[in-house]
Chain A
């Protein structure tokens, strides 16, 4: 049996004890209502059972003594109820425990424990369990087997097989064929040879069927009557004997005249006298007919029916109604055009191709639903065979087609197009390749114009730094900086009075004065600038090293006599390979970026002091490039997907730009300082307006491949260029106006193609001439090209 019903039962059986407690409470306090509560029916008490129980439990802690007595009494009242008894026992145990747990009132304990013990003793004889001690010394209750006391007598239930509705064949292998209600096996009756022998001796008993009763496994015997019933059933006869399916009908209401009438009242007079009322009505009709008010029926003629349509002025009191905003009037059909004429101008007639196309097209696809045709005279015009069909289609449209209000575009397309400056106004910009500088082996990685615009320096994979004369395209100077490292960056110092070229190969930056091509005084000035720092460098270490020998971020040294003889005067080495060099406008500082350098990725070098500093202790992300602000003490550092600007004076972060690019390749700051262009490896060129937002102002996607370099023209022309791996440069007009209200104008100007793509690399770098609209590009094909 499931535990649930039992539990529920317990709760309901609680009722009497609860009522007891109620009684108890009433005794103490509510004397007046006692009789009333007693008078209530059991049902009511049961309804209250739960709440009462709870009150009892509450009461336990408060009035322990009384409660204990109450429990005792209740257990006395119904000892025969097993479960209830157990419950009572439990409760008593609990009540006994409660005061001990409370541990507050001593006498309460005494009062409580005593009656409980009494209760136990009293219960000894009637209880259905024995108390032993278990392993822990706690009392353990061993219950007797419960004797279910069934009220109903089920002795008449047959001892049948209890295996349920399963095939008997499951038991074929066993000696038994199932279990009776007591779980005892029902053995298989004798069968087979033993039985055969027996059968030989015995006659077939009466009612033997040869069938086995599946329920008992014994032979099924049928009585004579049962067999008879079966026989009749199979013959579709009435089973019961003597049943007449068609008995004679008994007429309840017969047509026979009874001798004695049910009512003896005489026939009333009105049955014999003609009705006056009827006469009156007839007279009325007669009168109406005589007067002609009623006329004999005549079917109305067709014409009369026709005349039924009566027209009047429906709009006699017309009031304009405001049009429902949701209502859309059916559009009118457009008036016919020239081509619908029976005799149109000849140019409207379709030629053979058009006619064939029209005839071939599906009816839905045709732009016109008719083919223009020419008839010389009106008498030759035939009927239009689709007339009814067109009318029908129109009526279908009227009631079946959803109507939608479509806004017709009535915009002058010219107004949409932006006002672009006249291409002539945008001139000059580079358009053609003017010179090709050949001679490098491998890729050219970097190019740079010298501040005077006479020379171009380039550095490439062959480890050479070369200087070319711009106008002639002649190589005027070169030096091999390194045999294993490529020259990744070359940059001229941006001052005009001195001419210093910086080149990065591997971890080193070389400061070069190519004296062979310089005039003597310039050379002198340049050397002076480079040499100024030596003394400082000698003095410096003693001041900076405070006890601990800390390795300086950069080592400044002389590169060796061989290089020095070529003009390479200073070598500054940092911790990892340098990819980018950018000068401060004054020419005293330059920044190098070595993307692999972790914390030493960005270094700022002071030329006058021969000093290298690492401005960032830790850099978020991998530094890609860094640049100085053209006028303020602001430093831009681009990591893979953000650009941060730092105020160098206050030493704080100013702004974080988020171009939304996946991998920034290069940036350049507009000479005005408020705009930045960003080239990315994901083929985008982004224009940032620093005053506007941290998001790009324009995103330009005109390249098929990654953009390697971007550069503004620094000499006052509103131009910028980008170099891409698809082998092309794109020149843009980018005009920035001082007015804050006006955004920058960006106009694509020219795509310069010429560089060949080698191993998926196209143009590696680009630089502008300091004054002229010329730019020079470094290609992966080993050439530099000058465009003007």
Chain B
């Protein structure tokens, strides 16, 4: 006979363990347990049957998986923790006795050094696993690289973080694996694709970070300790995979002068790679004169090579039967989008390759330098105040093709006054411009790399109102608002009309007795009669943008609307069309603008809206009827699904409404 099972001896009750019990079992302190959990990547669980696990108590408790804790029991780090505890006791004793020398010696010699190598291997059995988990590591390390040192954050840690981050950036530059970047209000997002894994990290803008509040730097420090080890090993592997020596040579002097990326000297393992790689690096150290000459030589063949591929924003590659994958774009918006592989690193490597950039002193140098270099630009110069390591610090260098500025130009007369000096050797923004050089704002660089092509620089010119900077990661989803598409392609049937009706009373009455306008309305009218939606017909042309202006006509409209019931409109449609036509003819004969025409244009709006409303109402009724037949369970499920979709719809509608209002105001402004 089977033995009677006792409660709480098997199953969920045994599978989970509270944190207190886990700490007791491991015989370590809670902070040590926390560190161990962070290092080993062990996290609490949510038991499915919480009541059985907590044996009836309803107090909020953290549960760990018992097997996780058992696995921690064999961790070599536990021994280190205990050793550390013993040494801490000794140090405390020495300090108590006032023997600070002894304490220092003990601390120096006896405090066990914790190595996390085995944990890295254990947590990430393959390199790809490590890459997959690199997002948080990079974000954290880039943050720490930008933090000031304090008592919680030793300078050594910061230096290590900076070093590792720069090394990683060097790899991204060398392998051209940066894909996208985005200027958010939080910081700059970068996305690199390394060995097929997308790694997304966030780098803060260079400002002093606010570290107040309830931020526990011990926890962050533990994470940083783990992440530095991880990134070190990842960097090693990445460098060796592209045939570079790790660690790269680090020039402390240059770093002290703010060279940042250029303080590292990347070396290839074999001689062949060495020469090419060294090129940029050596140049940094060389004098600018010699460099210019050298680069001129280097530049010429480069440009020749790249010209057929890269110049042509205009040039089509229709005859070019390349081996690359063609881009398939869906014609209908509701079609499924099949994923296609991203642009290859070769394309990324060639985007900025033929150009020489110069960064003005008000631009953020580090991200620009990183991005430009990652996308193939080999010559990035900047103002001397921005630090060492520039290709050139001379703004009037004739090789500079693009200058990135973030300042508005001086008024024309002031600029001209200086320009009048003629061939001044120093060409300085914003006083004067260099002919043939493209001046752009920094956003141009980001938009270029996100779209994978060089954009029109005049849109990003100095002082220009920039086009909106869009996140490159947002995929258009059905039912969501997409700012890239024009409004009329997205809105629901009858939505615009409804909006116009609603807004009518709010907007000012604009009376324009342009014949042009009336003709416009006429055209629209006829097109509607031909069976098309009025909106579609009108919205394409610039001219028609002020159609609501036309609609604003004061009118004796209300009675007409009241008369226009559902049944009535159906019957009289043909009649109305006939009347309309006759009226048009009359008007043409007399040469007068049509009076009641505008009324009908407006009434058409109402008709469309009413039709749509009726249809929607019918649909809603039908849906209600269907819902009535659902089982309770399914009804609840449906409710949950609909909650999400309704929310999304409401959000999209809100955005569309705002957009429509903005369009309206801008068009009004344009009209005035």
Q: Which of B46, B113, B473 contacts A308 (CB 8 A)?
A: B113
Q: Is the CB of A418 within 8 A of B629?
A: yes
Which residues of A sit under 8 angstroms from B634, Cβ to Cβ?
Answer: 416
Given the interface pairs A318-B126, A385-B210, A418-B630, the reply to whether A335 lies near B113 with Cβ below 8 Å is no
Q: Is the CB of B240 within 8 A of A313?
A: yes
Interface residues of B in 177-212 (CB under 8 A from A): 182-187, 189, 191, 200, 204-211
Q: Is the CB of B125 within 8 A of A392?
A: no
CB distance from B311 to the nearest CB of A (A): 27
Q: Is the CB of B187 within 8 A of A311?
A: no
Which residues of A sit under 8 angstroms from B640, Cβ to Cβ?
Answer: 409
- The proximity string for B residues 72-109 relative to A, scoring 1 for CB distances below 8 Å and 0 otherwise, is 00000000000000000000000000000000000010
- B235 to chain A: closest residue by CB: A311
A329 at the interface (CB under 8 A from B): yes
Q: Is the CB of A416 within 8 A of B133?
A: no
Q: Is the CB of B189 within 8 A of A370?
A: no
Which residues of A sit under 8 angstroms from B628, Cβ to Cβ?
Answer: 748
Interface residues of B in 201-230 (CB under 8 A from A): 204-211, 213, 215-216, 219-220, 223
Given the interface pairs A340-B184, A409-B640, the reply to whether A384 lies near B205 with Cβ below 8 Å is yes
Which residues of B sit under 8 angstroms from A403, Cβ to Cβ?
Answer: 43, 45-46
Given the interface pairs A335-B189, A381-B183, A400-B44, the reply to whether A747 lies near B126 with Cβ below 8 Å is no
Q: Is the CB of A416 within 8 A of B215?
A: no
Q: Which of A326, A340, A373, A392 contacts B215 (CB 8 A)?
A: A392
Which residues of A sit under 8 angstroms from B310, Cβ to Cβ?
Answer: none
Which residues of A sit under 8 angstroms from B642, Cβ to Cβ?
Answer: 413
- The proximity string for B residues 99-142 relative to A, scoring 1 for CB distances below 8 Å and 0 otherwise, is 00000000010000100010011001111001011011001100
Given the interface pairs A347-B483, A348-B483, A416-B630, the reply to whether A338 lies near B470 with Cβ below 8 Å is yes
Most B-side CB within 10 Å, residue of A344, A379, A387, A400? A387
A332 at the interface (CB under 8 A from B): yes
Bound Cα distance from A388 to B147, whole angstroms? 9
Given the interface pairs A342-B184, A382-B207, the reply to whether A321 lies near B125 with Cβ below 8 Å is yes
Q: Which of A311, A338, A382, A411 contacts B233 (CB 8 A)?
A: A311
A394 at the interface (CB under 8 A from B): yes
Bound Cα distance from A332 to B202, whole angstroms? 13
Bound Cα distance from A299 to B105, whole angstroms? 10
Given the interface pairs A377-B441, A392-B220, the reply to whether A370 lies near B185 with Cβ below 8 Å is yes
- A385 to chain B: closest residue by CB: B210
Q: Is the CB of B406 within 8 A of A379?
A: yes
CB distance from A427 to the nearest CB of B (A): 14
Q: Which of B187, B626, B656 contacts A384 (CB 8 A)?
A: B187
A164 at the interface (CB under 8 A from B): no
Q: Is the CB of A342 within 8 A of B185?
A: yes
Q: Which of B125, B232, B362, B629 contacts A320 (CB 8 A)?
A: B125
Bound Cα distance from A308 to B117, whole angstroms? 13
Which residues of A sit under 8 angstroms from B120, Cβ to Cβ?
Answer: 314
Interface residues of B in 404-420 (CB under 8 A from A): 406-407
Bound Cα distance from A332 to B645, whole angstroms? 23
Which residues of A sit under 8 angstroms from B210, Cβ to Cβ?
Answer: 383, 385-389
Given the interface pairs A335-B473, A378-B363, the reply to whether A346 lies near B136 with Cβ below 8 Å is no
Interface residues of A in 148-165 (CB under 8 A from B): none
- A322 to chain B: closest residue by CB: B125
B638 at the interface (CB under 8 A from A): yes
Most B-side CB within 10 Å, residue of A372, A389, A401? A389
Given the interface pairs A314-B233, A388-B211, A417-B638, the reply to whether A399 lies near B34 with Cβ below 8 Å is yes
Q: Is the CB of A388 within 8 A of B143?
A: yes
Given the interface pairs A378-B406, A403-B43, A409-B641, the reply to whether A335 lies near B468 with Cβ below 8 Å is no
Q: Is the CB of B185 within 8 A of A351?
A: no
CB distance from B642 to the nearest CB of A (A): 6
Q: Is the CB of A402 within 8 A of B63?
A: yes
Q: Is the CB of B223 within 8 A of A395?
A: yes
A246 at the interface (CB under 8 A from B): no
Q: Is the CB of A315 within 8 A of B625?
A: no
CB distance from A705 to the nearest CB of B (A): 19
B465 at the interface (CB under 8 A from A): yes
Which residues of A sit under 8 angstroms from B127, Cβ to Cβ?
Answer: 315, 318
CB distance from A422 to the nearest CB of B (A): 9
A253 at the interface (CB under 8 A from B): no
Most B-side CB within 10 Å, residue of A299, A315, A384? A315
A396 at the interface (CB under 8 A from B): yes
Bound Cα distance from A333 to B184, whole angstroms? 15
Q: Is the CB of B655 within 8 A of A348?
A: yes
CB distance from A197 to the nearest CB of B (A): 79
B498 at the interface (CB under 8 A from A): no
Q: Is the CB of A344 within 8 A of B468?
A: yes
Bound Cα distance from A329 to B44, whole angstroms? 12
Q: Is the CB of B220 within 8 A of A383?
A: no
Which residues of B sit under 8 angstroms from A395, Cβ to Cβ?
Answer: 38, 136, 140, 219-220, 223
- A320 to chain B: closest residue by CB: B126
Which residues of B sit under 8 angstroms from A392, Cβ to Cβ?
Answer: 215-216, 219-220
Q: Which of A336, A347, A389 contacts B659 (CB 8 A)?
A: A347
B469 at the interface (CB under 8 A from A): yes
Given the interface pairs A311-B232, A341-B468, the reply to whether A404 lies near B185 with Cβ below 8 Å is no
Bound Cα distance from A403 to B62, whole angstroms? 12
Q: Is the CB of A336 within 8 A of B182?
A: yes
A398 at the interface (CB under 8 A from B): yes
Bound Cα distance from A194 to B160, whole angstroms? 107
Which residues of B sit under 8 angstroms from A314, Cβ to Cβ?
Answer: 117, 120-121, 233, 237
Given the interface pairs A388-B215, A417-B623, the reply to whether A378 lies near B442 with Cβ below 8 Å is yes
Bound Cα distance from A404 to B43, whole angstroms? 11
CB distance from B644 to the nearest CB of A (A): 8
Q: Is the CB of A336 within 8 A of B186?
A: yes
A330 at the interface (CB under 8 A from B): yes
A345 at the interface (CB under 8 A from B): yes
Bound Cα distance from A318 to B125, whole angstroms? 6
B471 at the interface (CB under 8 A from A): yes
B443 at the interface (CB under 8 A from A): yes
B530 at the interface (CB under 8 A from A): no
B59 at the interface (CB under 8 A from A): no
Q: Is the CB of B46 within 8 A of A402?
A: yes
Bound Cα distance from A417 to B220, whole angstroms? 50
Q: Is the CB of B183 within 8 A of A332?
A: no
- A369 to chain B: closest residue by CB: B186
Q: Which of A318, A321, A399, A420 contacts B625 (CB 8 A)?
A: A420
Q: Which of B34, B204, B641 contacts A383 (CB 8 A)?
A: B204
- The proximity string for A residues 331-360 relative to B, scoring 1 for CB distances below 8 Å and 0 otherwise, is 011011110111111111001000000000
Interface residues of B in 634-672 (CB under 8 A from A): 634, 637-638, 640-642, 644-645, 655-656, 658-659, 662
Query: Ordered nearest first, which 3 A-B pairs have the shortest CB separation?
Result: A383-B207, A335-B473, A347-B658
State the A residues within 8 Å of B (CB). 299, 306, 308-309, 311-315, 318-321, 326, 329-330, 332-333, 335-338, 340-348, 351, 370, 372-373, 375-379, 381-392, 394-396, 398-404, 409, 411, 413, 416-418, 420, 423, 746-748
State the B residues within 8 Å of A (CB). 34, 37-38, 42-46, 62-63, 65, 67, 108, 113, 117, 120-121, 124-127, 130, 132-133, 135-136, 139-140, 143, 147, 156, 160, 182-187, 189, 191, 200, 204-211, 213, 215-216, 219-220, 223, 232-233, 235-237, 240, 246-247, 362-364, 406-407, 441-443, 465-466, 468-471, 473-474, 481, 483, 622-623, 625-630, 634, 637-638, 640-642, 644-645, 655-656, 658-659, 662
Not counting A378-B363, A748-B629, a sample of 12 additional A-B residue pairs whose C-beta atoms are within 8 angstroms of each other reads A315-B130, A318-B127, A345-B468, A378-B183, A378-B364, A384-B185, A385-B210, A389-B215, A401-B43, A409-B637, A420-B626, A423-B625
Instruction: Provide 26 A-B residue pairs closer than 8 Å at the C-beta atoms, listed in order of the A residue.
Output: A306-B156, A311-B233, A312-B236, A313-B233, A314-B121, A315-B130, A335-B191, A335-B474, A340-B186, A343-B466, A372-B185, A377-B466, A378-B406, A379-B407, A388-B147, A391-B139, A392-B220, A395-B136, A395-B220, A399-B219, A402-B62, A402-B63, A403-B45, A403-B46, A409-B641, A411-B641
